[in-house]
Amino acid sequence: GQQVMQIPQYQHVQEGEDFTTYCNSSTTLSNIQWYKQRPGGHPVFLIQLVKSGEVKKQKRLTFQFGEAKKNSSLHITATQTTDVGTYFCAGQKAGTASKLTFGTGTRLQVTL
């Protein structure tokens, strides 16, 4: 079946440092979504990427979708303590309109 892996599993940074999480799918995706889950909370949608090579920015967050539509990345510039949480990518395969396969997640810890 479809697998979506993320690396690293965990990263601890000091506030102000940058952070990147990488997402790799075993199959080609029609789109990829990113979610953030705060400790004790539920996943919250951040963004969706659809086009090959697409890059989108949300303030300090930059999202990329690979040319082959099998990988993606999320980069956070100058992390803040409010960025703490687990970041999930979630891939949708062509022909599976309502099914998302979530990545393994990257837990980000930010300290002062």
Partner 1 sequence: DTAVSQTPKYLVTQMGNDKSIKCEQNLGHDTMYWYKQDSKKFLKIMFSYNNKELIINETVPNRFSPKSPDKAHLNLHINSLELGDSAVYFCASLGETQYFGPGTRLTVL
Cα–Cα distance, 99 to 27 (Å, whole number): 14
Cα–Cα distance, 29 to 3 (Å, whole number): 11
Among 88, 91, 108, 110, binds partner 1 (CB under 8 A): 88
Taking the C-alpha atoms of 77, 37, 58 and 111 in order, what is their torsion angle to the nearest 10 degrees? -20
Contact window for partner 1 (CB under 8 A) among 21-29, 35-43, 51-59, 69-77: 35-43
Contact window for partner 1 (CB under 8 A) among 16-24, 52-60, 72-80, 85-93: 85-93
Cα–Cα distance, 104 to 95 (Å, whole number): 22
Among 25, 36, 43, 79, binds partner 1 (CB under 8 A): 43
Shortest spacing between CB 45 and partner 1, in angstroms: 4
| Number of residues that this document lists for the chain | 112
Binding residues for partner 1, rule: CB under 8 A, are 33, 37, 41-45, 48, 86, 88, 90, 98-102, 104-105, 107
